[in-house]
Amino acid sequence: MKPDKYYFELAAKQARKSLCERGHCGSVIVSTDGEVIGRGYNAPPLNDASQRYCNTELDLTLKPKYDKTCCVHAEWNAIIDAFKTHGDKLEKATLYFMHVDDDGNWTDAGDPFCTVCSRLALQSGLAHFALWVNGRPKIYTTADYNRKSYDFYR
């Protein structure tokens, strides 16, 4: 198994591919034996730019913080990707999430807040959810990540 930082770099590479106009996020899912079994980045459904509504006249202030985009989240895409070919390895795996700035540099993920991602990670059987926080990995169990995502709104 490689060090966590290696997997965060792979997630950053995914983030640099993002087609989202609001945020550049990427994720990789790593099985217990160190194999990358899922990859994803923020993008409109099916990577189809005609399904992008972020820069239209929608009032996005009406949407919750975790859904200020029209894109499929990087985490969702990675989970879907893993289910397609490695569904049997998804249980007990770790999802590494990375956000990069417009220049492709790593940024701090901050506190968990996306309750949709936290529920999907928990439901899919993932064991851990890893964020880059204050220059180092912060790895949560998916149950803890889910709870902290809801705590964000208290």
pLDDT for 56 equals 62
CA atoms within 13 A on the CB side of 45: 4
Least confident of 47-61, 105-119, 135-149: 47-61
- Using 50, 70 and 90 to split pLDDT, how confident is the model at 64? low
Q: Contacts from 85-88 at CB under 8 Å and sequence distance 24+?
A: 85/37, 86/31, 86/35, 86/37, 86/38
Burial of 11 (C-beta count, 10 Å sphere; 0-12/13-18/19+): buried
Query: What are the domain boundaries of the chain?
Result: 4-151
pLDDT higher at 67 or 148: 148
Please tell me the class of the 4-151 domain: alpha beta
Model pLDDT for residues 7-50, shown as the tens digit of each residue:
999 999 999 999 988 889 999 999 999 999 999 999 999 999 88
pLDDT for 66 equals 58
Q: Which residues pair with 97 in a beta bridge?
A: 27
Instruction: Please choose, from the candidates 147, 128, 150, 153, the residue with its C-alpha nearest in 3D space to the C-alpha of residue 30.
Output: 128
Q: Can you list the positions of beta strands (E) in 42-127?
A: 94-100, 106-107
pTM for the complete prediction?
A: 0.91
Instruction: Please choose, from the candidates 38, 44, 55, 54, the residue with its C-alpha nearest in 3D space to the C-alpha of residue 18.
Output: 44
Q: How far apart are CA 28 and CA 90, in angstroms?
A: 12
Residue 139 pLDDT greater than 60, yes or no = yes
pLDDT for 44 equals 93
